[in-house]
């Protein structure tokens, strides 16, 4: 089910549910509380509780967060990947430079990366 459809089921009978509140309800289910009784107590449909449980078991609390993914999240992920690749490239360049300096001496005074 898409996040936007899940967002509609978050309301239950008492307004919007935080991921933490959803998790607490799911943990009560997992500890053996009756689905129908908990549904009535929390004023949330049994189907909604079952969905939260399934999502929680599949992806933990992150899956219970109702914020939709947008283009900024994709951009952030791409930038984080680029940053990691750049850091790796820098680390490799420093290692190569260290090996070169051990064999041939420093490249030039003040230019060493060690």
Q: Are 43 and 12 in contact (CB under 8 A)?
A: yes
Give the pLDDT of residue 108: 66
How far is Cα 56 from Cα 68, in angstroms, rounded to an integer? 17
Three-class secondary structure of residue 58 per DSSP: helix
CA end-to-end distance (rounded Å), the chain: 53
* Domain extents in the chain: 3-64, 69-114
Q: Is residue 32 within 8 Å of 95, Cβ to Cβ?
A: no
Mean pLDDT of 77-106: 85
Residue 5 has a pLDDT of: 40
pLDDT at residue 60 is higher than 50: yes
Q: Is residue 33 over pLDDT 80?
A: yes
| pLDDT of amino acid 110 | 61
d(C-alpha 27, C-alpha 56), whole Å: 9
Residues 55-79 have a mean pLDDT of 77
Q: Which of 8-12, 55-59, 93-97 shows the lowest per-residue confidence on average (mean pLDDT)?
A: 8-12
CATH class of the 3-64 domain in this structure:
mainly alpha
């Amino acid at each position: 089910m898409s996040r936007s459809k899940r967002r509609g089921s978050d309301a239950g009978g008492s307004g919007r549910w935080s991921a933490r509140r959803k998790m607490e309800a799911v943990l009560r289910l997992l500890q053996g509380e009756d689905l129908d009784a908990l549904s009535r107590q929390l004023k949330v449909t049994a189907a909604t509780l079952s969905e939260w449980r399934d999502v929680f078991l599949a992806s933990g609390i992150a899956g219970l967060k109702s914020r939709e993914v947008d283009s900024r999240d994709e951009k952030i992920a791409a930038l984080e990947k680029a940053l990691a690749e750049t850091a790796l490239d820098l680390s490799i360049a420093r290692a190569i430079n260290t090996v070169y300096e051990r064999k041939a001496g420093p490249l030039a005074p003040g230019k060493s990366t060690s």
